[in-house]
Amino acid sequence: MNIVVLGATGFIGSHLVGMLLDSGPYSRIVVVTRRDPRVLLEERPRWRDRVELVRWRPHRGEPLALPRGLLEEGYDLVNLAGERITGPWTRGKKRNIWESRVDLAKRLAESLGDTPPRLLVQAEGTGVYGDRGDEEVSEDTPPGRGFLARLTRAVEEALQPLGENGSRLVFARFGLVLGPGSPLLESLKPLFGLGLCPLLKGANWLPWVHVEDAVASLIYAAKKGLDGPLNIVSPNPVRMTEFFQKLCHGIGARLGVPIPGRLLSILGGEFAREALLASCKAVPKRLMEEGYVFKYPLLDQVEWKALLAEKQGGQGHV
């Protein structure tokens, strides 16, 4: 079996390739990157002789040219590429987020239309559901409102031609993913180094998942033949205040000055309101129905200090 991964140098992508190398069901791993393959292999010696690299620079209008033998044998594709959504949503930032996802999806559909993958997994986020209060959110819940919902719908629409050509489409909707190299934890390391930890206060529900379960869920979905939306979240979401209390306690840091949600909304603007403060009690209904067993179903099982180990990967660009 063959698999193609875009965004393999990012946080989730690095862990996915690592799991594929350790025990994945795929005999051939192809990573699509816009970087110089020689430089990339110097940074990741473990990939040598085991991972094939294909250079693609879609921003230059290049078509994606996968190895002919791979196209003839058939392949699965996982797209984890995209600009991070964290940070102030300036006009330029939102444009970059949109282009790195929607425009990339359109180019994928154009490049692979004649030789579509058997399976295409597209990374998304639970932000598609919007602010749902205390409502339990499953894959049956319709999209909400806001920029993230519009973004997700546009990406899915752009990939529909591949589905019409025979690809099985899985839309992996990730909650907050925790693991070594997690963007959230990396951004807080300067405070941790001072023995401090922020306490973001809020009653909003926060869906989360450990990165080991996140990447294992993708492989499980491929094996089980799943399609459509798939919530990649722990079965036990927590409220934001509880999350940060457990985080601070877990790393042994003193609680900082509590930051109320109203202040966070003012300081963080649209990004804070949609990505941090929106309440989403998302649950992995389909994964649970298909028998997936979570290694980390509870936040109390997370080894926080281990998550601050050496990070893997950076931003998940192609």
pLDDT tens digit string along 207-235?
999 999 999 999 999 999 999 999 999 99
Any domain includes 196 = no
Q: What is the rounded CA–CA span in Å between residue 159 and residue 102? A: 9
- Is 34 part of any domain? yes
DSSP secondary structure, 121-169, as one string = EEEEEGGGG---TT-EE-TTSPP-SSHHHHHHHHHHHHHHHHHHTTPEE
Q: Give the total number of structural domains in the chain.
A: 1
The one-letter code for the residue type at 209 is V
- Which range among 45-49, 113-117, 148-152, 194-198 shows the weakest confidence by mean pLDDT? 194-198
Residue 202 has pLDDT above 90, yes or no: no
pLDDT band for position 63 (cuts 50, 70, 90): confident
Closest CA to 236 of 273, 275, 255, 210: 210
At residue 78 the predicted structure's pLDDT band, cuts being 50, 70 and 90, is very high
Cβ atoms of residues 264 and 276 within 8 Å: yes
Segments forming the whole domain that contains residue 288:
2-181+207-233+282-307
Which of 280, 257, 277 lies closest to 267 in space, CA to CA? 277
Sign of CA dihedral 71, 211, 292, 244: negative
Q: How far apart are CA 146 and CA 93, in angstroms?
A: 15
Res. 30 pLDDT band, cuts 50 70 90? very high
In a domain, 187, yes or no: no
Q: Answer yes or no: is 110 within a domain.
A: yes
Name every residue whose Cβ is closer than 8 Å to that of residue 105 and which is 6 or more positions away in sequence: 79, 122, 155, 158, 159
Domain CATH number, residue 30: 3.40.50.720
267 located within any domain: no
Q: Is position 74 within any domain?
A: yes
Residue 272 lies in a domain: no
